[in-house]
Amino acid sequence: MDSVDLAATRLSEVRSKGTRALDAEAFRSNLEKNSRCYSAGHQLAFEGDNGAPVLWVLKGWLALSKSLSDGQTQIIDFILPRDIALPGAADGLTAAFQVEALTDVEVASLSQHEWDRIKQACPDVQGLAVNLAAAAQARMSERMLRLGKGSAPMRIAYALLELSVRLKSIGEMEGDFIHLPLTQQQLGDFTGLSSVHVCRTLRRLVRNGVITTVDHRDIRIRDIAALSEMAGIDVGRLAHEISPVAA
């Protein structure tokens, strides 16, 4: 399945109520026309940039992050395949986030104007965007709760579960393995912890038999019940709350 098919798949899921196929065609050609590849580590945009485009990820991971003046960085969200990143601030003019490719990525980049046009032409896309935005808000809220009030183990456990749920929903989870294209530093920027403490916390999870790690990047969840309890969440409920188009 190539990457455009991936997006089309998600589209067809949404199109369950039966609207015009032509819209999907127009949209697909637009995506194809605009899609580009970038390699891991590439910066697609910086905070404060003008003319923030809409980014439709076909393949790979993006990180949306914000930084303080002292260089401390917080990863606000990960954008996975089939997701749409709207890095614009409320003024619609500047980017609210820095956007970095965490893996090699294939991304369709649309200007605000093109994006508006596509949404008009294709109600499916409009609906998909609304669903994806709701999912993004839901998972950000769960993270904020833990960022504000949770312990380090809870934050790490939640991050692993959130990502496993999201990967599973796009068919990129193999059994109970998740591949995280992240350094411990980045996992710390995501969970609001120092890289050192991420390491210690992960080691403790391994020692307790909750997870095992291979290669520092591939994590196997051995005891999902323990992990869920640590994260303070029921995995089934989480999947409902943060997955777009659960139906």
Q: Would you tell me which residues interact with a copy of itself (CB under 8 A)?
A: 48, 66-69, 72-74, 76, 86, 88-94, 96-97, 131, 133-138, 140-150, 154, 189, 191-192, 232, 237, 240-244, 246
Q: Please enumerate in sequence order all residues whose Cβ is within 8 A of that of 75, keeping only pairs 6 or more positions apart, or say none.
A: 63, 64, 65, 186, 189, 190
Q: For residues 184 and 203, is the Cβ–Cβ distance under 8 A? A: no
Task: Output 34 or 73, the one with its CB closest to DNA.
Answer: 73
Which residues, numbered 167-186, are part of the site for DNA (CB under 7 A)? 183-185
Our finding on whether 103 is near DNA (CB under 7 A) is no
- How far apart CA 208 and CA 215 sit, in angstroms, is 19
Kind and range of the H or E element at 123? helix 123-149
213 binds, among DNA, a copy of itself, none (CB under 5 to 8 A by kind): DNA
Which residues, numbered 148-167, are part of the site for DNA (CB under 7 A)? 151-153
Q: Which is it for strands 211-214 and 62-67: parallel, antiparallel or unpaired?
A: unpaired
Residue 53 Cβ vs DNA, minimum distance, rounded to whole Å: 27
Radius of gyration of the chain, Cα coordinates, nearest whole angstrom: 18
Please give the residue ranges that form the binding site for DNA (CB under 7 A).
151-153, 183-185, 188, 192-197, 199-200, 202-203, 213, 215-216
